[in-house]
Chain A
Amino acid sequence: MTLSQKRIGARLLIGVAAIGLLGLGLTHSMAGQERVVKVVAQRFSYFPSEILLKTGEPVRLEITSTDFLHGFKVPDLDIRADLPPGQVTVLHLTPAKAGIYDFLCDNFCGLGHEEMNGRIVVKD
């Protein structure tokens, strides 16, 4: 699938929030203004592997790895984060341009690593 070569102007904050941390209240208040999308990373897939977003819509991605320090990288959005297992990794973004943006695990995680990927579909 061909991706748009133009980068989306994504607003990005990365936070790794362990359950029970004091910072949880802050992230909850931000979540009130954002649509929350939960993603699970598990050898060798993301669930869901396709994330549907709308342009201009603030989104809070809550990604949980169950088994490995996977990575989450969206090259064309300049987004990447490590996903410590058992924690919720929070990413904030507001997609500015419609398109299809592939993401992948960029921490080698084993035999199926090359197939651990997905895509963000942004529509107007």
Chain B
Amino acid sequence: MINRRDFLKLSAIGGGAVFLPGLVGRANAAAAAYDDFYFVQLSDSHWGYEGPANPEAAHTLEKAVATVNALEKQPDFIMFTGDLTHTTDDPEERRQRLSAFKKIVSALKVKDVHFIPGEHDASLDKGAAFQEMFGKTHYTFDHKGVHFITLDNVSDPGASLGDEQLAWLAADLAAQPKDARIVVFTHRPLFDLVPKWDWATRDGAKAIKLLLSHPNVTVFYGHIHQENHHYTEHIAHHSAKSLIFPLPAPGSQDKRTPLPWDPALPFKGLGFREVEAEAKPVAYQITEFPVVRA
């Protein structure tokens, strides 16, 4: 059995892989039905952003799509964890950006693509435009023995999940076997990463308390535009890089201003990840990829 404290084992796969056995479990009925597979997580493309932090903003998402399409083995599915678009006050412009985003990602070879909103997509209209284009903001699906739960902590501008969604989560978890393999996707961190930068979910502790009832839970999220790996008891939380600009390390400076674009290293700090779900031991191997591969 792997000690959780030793969970970071860097290898040399792709853009850098991190082996994260956050969920070490025993062989059981659920594991027997479980099949290895992998999915891709993309996040924070902020389509519509214009600014010095990414002079190539109009092309970055397209490049990421091309890089995903060039993967030797295509993933079973793809998940976008929010901030698909950059915010705008104009409802019509918001819809145009979401529509443009949707058109670009329609070029993905893999057609099983899931979306959740970020606050830039949904907070100013409580998710109305997002729902028109992509459907529900929180939902579940199952894939090869893993139960996936998406949570919406952005349609409320105050970054709350809300009692109704928490009750929905509790009911869904109650219907799962104790040893179910559960993966949660959300935009903001469910825990208080840096509250002074708004890197938190106001009632995220309630969701974590519910999730702790199951021993095999892993959370993947976005929002902070960089990798971060954190545990709340046995639950691992992994944030993804963005596809627009990186942000400073959590709490490392006064303001959460974007890191400057480096002309010598365009797209530095941007990328997406593969997550390989392994059956024995139950684990998730994360491989990070740059937007453009050499």
Contact = CB atoms under 8 A, between A and B. Distances in A.
B156 to A, nearest CB: 9
Contacts of A71: 158
Interface stretch (A27-35, A91-99, A101-109): A101-109
A115 B89 contact: no
A53 interface: no
Contacts of A115: 255
A106 B89 contact: no
B255 A110 contact: no
B123 interface: yes
B157 A73 contact: no
Interface residues of A, number: 20
Given A1-B254, A75-B196, A106 B202 contact: yes
A26 interface: no
A22 interface: no
A108 B256 contact: no
Contacts of B88: 111
B195 interface: yes
A82 B124 CA distance: 16
A90 interface: no
A106 B124 contact: no
Contact of B89 (A3, A69, A76, A111): A111
Given A110-B89, A115-B255, A104 B196 contact: yes
A89 to B, nearest CB: 15
B159 interface: yes
Interface of B: 86-89, 119, 123-124, 154, 157-159, 195-198, 202, 254-256
Interface of A: 1, 3, 69, 71, 73, 75-76, 82, 102, 104, 106-111, 113-115, 117
Given A69-B157, A108-B158, A114-B256, 15 more contacts: A1-B254, A75-B196, A76-B196, A104-B197, A106-B159, A108-B87, A108-B123, A108-B124, A108-B154, A108-B157, A108-B159, A109-B157, A110-B124, A114-B198, A117-B255
